[in-house]
Amino acid sequence: MSKQRPESTDDNEPRFSGATSRRAFIGTAAAAGIATLAGCSQGESGDENGGDDGGSEGDSGGETESSQAGVSGETLTLTTTTSTYDTGLLDEIHTDFQEMYDVTVDAVALGTGAALESARNGDADVVMVHARGLEDEFMQNGYGINRRDLMFNDFVIVGPEDDPAGIEGMDSATEALTAIAEAEETFVSRGDNSGTHTKELNLWEAAGTEPGGDWYQEAGAGMGEVLNNANQQGAYTLADRGTFISQRSEIDLTILVQGPIEGGPEILSNPYGIMAVNPGVHDNANYDLAMAYIGWITSPAAQDAISEYQMNGEQLFFPEAVSEDPNFQQYVPEGWSSDSDSE
Amino acid sequence: MTPEAVAQLLPVVELPFREGYVRSIIYVSLYVSGTAVVLSTLFSIPVAIVMGFTDFPGKQFVKSIINTGMGFPSVVVGLLVLFVVSNQGPLGPLELIFTREAMIMSQFVLATPPITAISLAAITSVSDNVRDAARALGGTRLDVALVVIKEARYGIATAILAGFGRAISEVGSVLIVGGNITSASGISKTRTLTTAIQLEARQGQYDTAMLLGAVLLVLVLTVNAVVVRFGDGGAMNR
């Protein structure tokens, strides 16, 4: 697996074996140090000279307008959510894409809110997130284009096995949350403006309960950390099934309310979408490569790879990009129509 | 000691890493922190020398700014560097976001105050007798400076080590400006030991995180040992 990376993008990384390469390392470090010194001092005096960096990193956007044809050798910056990243899915499937186009994918794991924000600032080329409301807003504000439904799994409410709030087997997520709130059993919230956090807040709203008090803890952390946190405290939390499965062997929490994949309520569904950053807003965005990526990840081959990806014997994500009956609402914000006021 | 050797010391832990993963994050850690510290040193030592040899109005104020800088929270520095290198920031066109160069910038900011402050303390603590003797022997200003630096070299080495320790152990800024990126084949681009530890801890893989922590510790110990040894060699040659 690890040998498959094209060597051409790799000239900056000597291996640590033997005296020769150690010397090479020192040489590289020194040369890079000098180069960066030049870059830094000029940068700090306000002089825009990026010459030293482009060469050594083989890096993204700056090279898009060069005369070289195609996208070979370029770097795609993908901001995505911790819940996708922590399952290991992207590392597993990206190798194919990188080989196919001879490119590098830099996946940066952030919360959905932060992932969208970095794309809004033009620091990403493509975004993969799971909060349709925030995605719609992102597109309506003109930052994202060419949205596709990508895949889905679902959310589950997990908690300690002894289930002090007695929510096990409930078919209503909102009733379960209300029960937790009434019993004032500890509930750990992501509290990080992520897709899961957004979903959780929507659920509280749907339940008509205002969460608050000592039992409701905002962790401000990624899904994995929150699962650990809840595990340590014997608390409840809302988790996406993918992260929960990938971490199940490390923790004692159990699924108490199932999502729609296992017959639970539809409100717990968790669809992932992918969007390119609008090159009309950020002209440095690597749009060609972003569209190549979106094309690839919604292709039957990559969709198969997604459905084949398993952790602890369970499928984590269910592809939904390939369909005989395309859902046209996936391309535009929900509820949008050509005569509505947004365009 | 190589990471593999460290791993063999902990036979209980099954190495879940792909080939080259640990080596590449060690490389990125050393490359980023090493470069940042070299740059900081090149900047800090002259500043410390100038401040140690001259008096100017507001010197105490500059000193207290430097001392305050030793306590800069790394996340704040990371955030500031993010604003600078982000596409919307003043250095946006350089495309530095999520690169090692951006990480070097933030670690430069973090390592410079301790290196300057400790070097300055070392230089000012060199006895006036030494300066007077050097001057009496007909030394130019440069000669006097060189003598003082030679006398202060342990303190300066300590300063550089402190800067290196600050740089390689911080997680806040490199996570924000670097993005903790590896390629799909598991070769680190901007993932350092600290951000890798953070990632493993987030995923509940505490044993792996501990292992990486041990690697980091060994690395810092090794660098310290090398510098101390280097300093002793200088003492013997005197």
Per-residue pLDDT band for A239 (boundaries 50, 70, 90) equals very high
Q: Is the CB of residue A258 less than 8 Å from the CB of residue A274?
A: no
Interface of B with A in 54-113 (CB under 8 A): 86-88, 90-101, 104-105, 108
Is some CB atom of chain A closer than 8 A to the CB atom of B204? Answer: yes
> What would the pLDDT profile of B173-230 be if each residue is shown by its tens digit?
999 999 898 887 788 899 999 999 988 888 777 888 899 999 999 999 998 888 877 7
Q: What is the structure's pLDDT at B2?
A: 56
Ordered domains of chain A (ranges, CATH):
69-153+271-321 (3.40.190.10), 154-269 (3.40.190.10)
Per-residue pLDDT band for B5 (boundaries 50, 70, 90) equals low
Buried b (16+ CB within 10 A) or exposed e, A163-189: eebebeebebbbebbbbbbeeebbbbb
At B49, the amino acid letter reads I
Residues of A in contact with B3 (CB under 8 A): none
Residues of A in contact with B26 (CB under 8 A): 16
Closest-CA residue to A176 (of A228, A119, A238, A117): A238
| C-beta atoms of A250 and B204 within 8 A | yes
Residues of A in contact with B105 (CB under 8 A): 40, 43
Per-residue pLDDT band for B16 (boundaries 50, 70, 90) equals low
In this structure, what token pair is assigned to residue B213? 């922590």
A16, A123, A284 member nearest B23 (Cβ): A16
Q: Is the CB of residue A60 less than 8 Å from the CB of residue A286?
A: yes
CA atoms within 13 A on the CB side of B221: 8
Per-residue pLDDT band for B159 (boundaries 50, 70, 90) equals very high
Q: What is the structure's pLDDT at B231?
A: 64
Q: How many C-beta atoms surround the C-beta of residue B59 within 10 A?
A: 11
- Under CATH, domain B3-237 is a member of which superfamily? MetI-like (1.10.3720.10)
Which residues, at least 6 apart from A289, have a Cβ–Cβ distance to it below 8 Å?
A64, A71, A74, A76, A101, A103, A125
Q: What is the structure's pLDDT at A67?
A: 41
> What would the pLDDT profile of B180-192 be if each residue is shown by its tens digit?
988 877 888 999 9
Q: What is the ipTM of this complex?
A: 0.73
> What would the pLDDT profile of A215-224 be if each residue is shown by its tens digit?
999 988 888 8
> What would the pLDDT profile of B38-50 be if each residue is shown by its tens digit?
999 999 999 998 8
Q: What is the structure's pLDDT at A334?
A: 85
Which range, of B1-5, B110-114, B164-168, averages the lowest pLDDT?
B1-5
Between A76 and A42, residue with greater pLDDT: A76
pLDDT at residue B93 is higher than 90: no
| Helix axes of A300-308 and A89-101: crossing angle, nearest 10 degrees | 150
Q: What is the structure's pLDDT at A269?
A: 92
| C-beta atoms of A16 and B179 within 8 A | no
| C-beta atoms of B181 and A107 within 8 A | yes
Closest-CA residue to A62 (of B84, B82, B95, B190): B95
pLDDT at residue A341 is higher than 80: no
> Pairing relation of β-strands A144-159 and A269-277?
antiparallel
Stretch (H or E) spanning B150:
helix B141-151
Chosen from B82, B101, B104 to mutate, greatest number of chain A CBs within 10 A:
B101
Q: Is the CB of residue A229 less than 8 Å from the CB of residue A188?
A: yes
> What would the pLDDT profile of A151-209 be if each residue is shown by its tens digit?
999 999 999 999 999 999 888 999 999 999 999 999 999 988 888 999 999 999 999 98
- What backbone phi and psi angles, to 5 degrees, belong to A126? -150, 145
Residues of A in contact with B97 (CB under 8 A): 123
Per-residue pLDDT band for B8 (boundaries 50, 70, 90) equals low
Which residues, at least 6 apart from A334, have a Cβ–Cβ distance to it below 8 Å?
A132, A136
Interface of A with B in 78-97 (CB under 8 A): 82, 86, 90-95
Cα–Cα distance, A249 to A258 (Å, whole number): 18
Mean predicted confidence (pLDDT) in B131-140: 84
CA distance A2 to chain B (A): 5
Residues of A in contact with B88 (CB under 8 A): 121-122
Is some CB atom of chain B closer than 8 A to the CB atom of A221? Answer: yes
Average pLDDT value for chain B: 86
* pTM of the model as a whole: 0.76
Written as one string, the DSSP assignment of A61-129 is GGGTTSS--SSTT-EEEEEEEHHHHTTTHHHHHHHHHHHHHT-EEEEEEE-HHHHHHHHHTT--SEEEE
Which residues, at least 6 apart from B114, have a Cβ–Cβ distance to it below 8 Å?
B70, B159, B162, B163, B166
| C-beta atoms of A61 and B95 within 8 A | yes
Q: % helix / strand / coil in chain A, to the nearest 5?
A: 45, 20, 35
CA distance A204 to chain B (A): 25
Tally of residues, chain A = 343
> What would the pLDDT profile of A286-330 be if each residue is shown by its tens digit?
999 999 999 999 999 999 999 999 988 889 999 999 988 888 888
Q: What is the structure's pLDDT at A332?
A: 87
CA dihedral A140, A143, A144, A145 (to 10 degrees): 80
Average pLDDT value for chain A: 81
Which residues, at least 6 apart from A198, have a Cβ–Cβ distance to it below 8 Å?
A112, A113, A131, A133, A134
Residues of A in contact with B98 (CB under 8 A): 77, 106, 108, 123
Per-residue pLDDT band for A340 (boundaries 50, 70, 90) equals low
Q: % helix / strand / coil in chain B, to the nearest 5?
A: 75, 0, 25
pLDDT at residue A6 is higher than 50: no
Cα–Cα distance, A158 to A258 (Å, whole number): 9
Residues of A in contact with B87 (CB under 8 A): 121-123, 282, 284
Q: Is the CB of residue B219 less than 8 Å from the CB of residue B26?
A: yes
Q: What is the structure's pLDDT at B76?
A: 93
Q: Is the CB of residue A258 less than 8 Å from the CB of residue A156?
A: yes
Q: What is the structure's pLDDT at B161?
A: 92
Mean predicted confidence (pLDDT) in B46-59: 88
Closest-CA residue to A286 (of B191, B105, B89, B87): B87
For chain B, the structural domain boundaries read 3-237
Report CA-CA distances (Å) from A35 to A42, A56, B183: 11, 10, 24
Chosen from B19, B43, B80, B181 to mutate, greatest number of chain A CBs within 10 A:
B181
pLDDT at residue A50 is higher than 60: no
